[in-house]
């Protein structure tokens, strides 16, 4: 059985503000937290449709869209490997088989984990399945370094075979079977080994044109959101749409605001719709009854071509920063401008609506998260949300206990 090392150092438990940090997304490590840059990558060109998430993760962003990755250093000597940062799955795995990916050359740019002197093979295998792909992985453990935080004995998977994937995945979600994982995932290890005070992180992925996105493990950046953080309880697995432990929360309403000031109400009902906040999903997916009302707000939308679920809209519509799709959570409304909500596909000369119909697995993916600042608090089973902004940097560590995440404005 894999043992967990004791924390490397005792760190302060109280949240505290830090000042004079670089305003961009450069790595910063302070007691209780690590800010680390996130990079947006364009997936290998493909006309395959957006797939439904199966079991743990979905490969469609890597096949057809944009996905967000971070670079980790693995093993001895340290080897840089970029992995998809995914809040919809929980495990870390690397080394997809590039010859079976959607773009072998693109796959090779993300680095490989090879020949570590400190890797311990656990001789334990698993298969992660997707809508039309898979990854066969062999487990082991080794050093994993995020910035200057060097995690000891982190268990992860090395792919022995895979299909479609161009990069590995760092899952930042809980195990599907519950909050007490069978072995420490990366978010667990950061807390257990003293780099963060609790199992919490904030995500700020930014727009496709920005290079300032970041994840703050164990902290928040008060200059990256406006207003107060709205605390929303995570829906227990037994009450969730798929019966699994994920970042499910209730959405209370949706509306569309046109540039002329007119408002189209889609729905408005407390705890009206469960949604999964998933950074590994290029678009969003909502039940057909809700989707049809959103679609009606885009009268120029054209039906999807064969082989896809995504409606096309004029790119002039997709360039708008004065029309919004609004998502209500309690007292907070996240305003998503059309230029974030509509997915531009310049390789095909088209733009598509950033939502599709799915009655089984409703997801708010990157077409929502680009406009939101989201704090994922595993220890307290909460998600905190606010509208994103970019006004410098003021990092605050998340402490422990039920009020560990400050709601500061």
> Which residues share a beta bridge with 138?
125, 158
State in words which class domain 28-44+58-201 has.
mainly beta
CA dist 291 and 287 (Å) reads 6
The catalytic site residues sit at 86, 278
* Pairing status of strand 134-146 against strand 350-352: unpaired
Q: With beta carbons less than 8 A apart as the criterion, state whether 202 and 219 touch.
A: yes
- Whole-number pLDDT of residue 223: 94
CA dist 127 and 112 (Å) reads 20
Q: Which helix (H) or strand (E) element contains residue 396? A: strand 395-397
CA dist 139 and 202 (Å) reads 28
CA dist 246 and 235 (Å) reads 8
- Whole-number pLDDT of residue 65: 55
Helix, coil or strand: residue 247: coil
**Model pTM?**
0.89
- Whole-number pLDDT of residue 25: 57
**Number of residues that make up the chain:** 409
Query: Taking the alpha carbons of 35, 91, 130, 101 in that order, is the dihedral positive or negative?
Result: positive
CATH of 221-397, one of 2.40.70.10, 3.40.718.10, 3.10.20.90, 3.30.300.130: 2.40.70.10
**Residue-wise burial string across 307-322, b where 16 or more C-beta atoms lie within 10 A, e elsewhere:** eebbbbbeeebbeeee
Burial of 265 (0-12, 13-18, 19+ CB in 10 A): exposed
- Whole-number pLDDT of residue 409: 55
**Domain coordinates in residue numbering, the chain:** 28-44+58-201, 221-397
> Which residues share a beta bridge with 82?
71
Q: With beta carbons less than 8 A apart as the criterion, state whether 186 and 144 touch.
A: yes
Q: With beta carbons less than 8 A apart as the criterion, state whether 131 and 52 touch.
A: yes
- Whole-number pLDDT of residue 347: 76
Count of CB atoms within 10 A of residue 51's CB? Answer: 19
Two tokens, residue 166 = 């161009």
Could you tell me which of 296, 290, 313 has the C-alpha nearest to residue 359? 290
Distance from the Cα of residue 321 to its chain's centroid? 23
Answer yes or no: same fold for 28-44+58-201 and 221-397. Answer: yes
Q: With beta carbons less than 8 A apart as the criterion, state whether 250 and 232 touch.
A: yes
- Whole-number pLDDT of residue 57: 39
- Whole-number pLDDT of residue 5: 28
> Which residues share a beta bridge with 145?
73, 150
Two tokens, residue 7 = 């924390």
The set of residues, in sequence order, having a beta carbon less than 8 Å from that of 403 and lying 6+ positions away, is none
> Which residues share a beta bridge with 233?
382
pLDDT tens series, the chain, 409 aa? 222 222 323 333 333 443 455 556 577 888 999 999 998 876 543 323 333 343 333 444 444 457 899 999 999 999 999 999 999 999 999 999 999 998 899 899 999 999 899 999 999 999 988 666 789 999 999 999 999 899 999 999 999 999 988 899 999 999 999 998 889 999 999 999 999 999 999 999 976 666 778 999 999 999 999 999 999 999 999 999 999 999 999 999 999 999 999 999 999 999 999 999 999 888 999 999 999 999 999 999 999 988 788 999 999 998 899 999 999 999 999 999 999 999 888 878 889 999 999 999 999 999 999 999 999 999 999 999 999 999 999 999 999 999 899 877 5
DSSP letters of 296-360? HT-TT-BPPPTT--PPEE-HHHHT-SS-EEEEEETTEEEEEEHHHHSEEETTTTEEE-SEEE-SS
Two tokens, residue 26 = 């450069």
- Whole-number pLDDT of residue 208: 64
CA dist 378 and 197 (Å) reads 12
Task: Tell me the helix, strand and coil percentages in the chain, rounded to 5.
Answer: 10, 40, 45
CA dist 298 and 289 (Å) reads 15
């Amino acid at each position: 059985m894999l043992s967990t090392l004791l924390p490397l150092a005792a760190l302060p438990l109280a949240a505290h503000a830090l000042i004079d940090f670089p305003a961009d997304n450069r790595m910063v490590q302070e007691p209780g937290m690590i800010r680390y840059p996130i990079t947006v990558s364009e997936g290998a060109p493909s006309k395959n449709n957006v797939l439904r998430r199966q079991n743990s993760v979905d490969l469609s962003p890597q096949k057809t869209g944009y996905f967000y990755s971070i670079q980790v250093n693995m093993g001895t000597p340290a080897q840089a490997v970029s992995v998809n940062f995914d809040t919809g799955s929980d495990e870390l795995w690397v080394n997809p088989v590039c010859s079976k990916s959607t773009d072998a050359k693109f796959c090779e740019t993300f680095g490989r984990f090879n020949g570590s002197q400190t890797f311990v093979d656990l001789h334990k295998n698993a298969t992660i399945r997707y809508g039309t792909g898979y990854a066969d992985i062999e487990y082991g453990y080794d050093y994993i370094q995020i910035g200057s935080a060097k995690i000891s004995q982190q268990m992860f998977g090395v792919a022995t075979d895979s299909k479609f994937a161009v990069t590995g995945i760092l899952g930042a979600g809980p195990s599907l079977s519950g909050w007490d994982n069978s072995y420490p995932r990366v978010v667990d290890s950061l807390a257990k080994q003293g780099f963060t005070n609790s199992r919490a992180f904030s995500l700020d992925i930014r727009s496709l044109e920005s290079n300032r996105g970041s994840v703050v493990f164990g902290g928040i950046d008060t200059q990256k959101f406006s207003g107060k953080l709205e605390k929303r309880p995570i829906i227990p697995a037994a009450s969730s749409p798929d019966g699994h432990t994920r970042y499910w929360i209730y959405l209370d309403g949706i509306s569309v605001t046109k540039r002329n000031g007119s408002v189209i109400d889609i729905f408005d009902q407390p705890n009206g719709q469960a949604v999964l906040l998933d950074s590994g999903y290029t678009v969003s997916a909502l039940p057909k009854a809700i989707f049809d009302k959103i679609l009606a707000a885009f009268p120029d939308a054209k039906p999807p071509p064969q082989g896809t679920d995504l409606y096309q809209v004029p790119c002039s519509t997709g360039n708008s920063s004065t029309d919004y799709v609004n998502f209500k959570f309690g007292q907070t409304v996240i305003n998503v401008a059309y230029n974030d909500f509509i997915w531009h596909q310049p390789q095909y000369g088209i733009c598509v609506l950033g939502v599709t119909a799915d009655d089984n697995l409703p997801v708010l993916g990157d077409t929502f998260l680009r406009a939101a600042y989201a704090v994922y608090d595993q220890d307290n089973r909460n998600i905190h949300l606010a509208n994103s902004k970019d006004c410098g940097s003021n990092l605050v560590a998340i402490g422990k206990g039920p009020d560990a995440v400050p709601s500061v404005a």
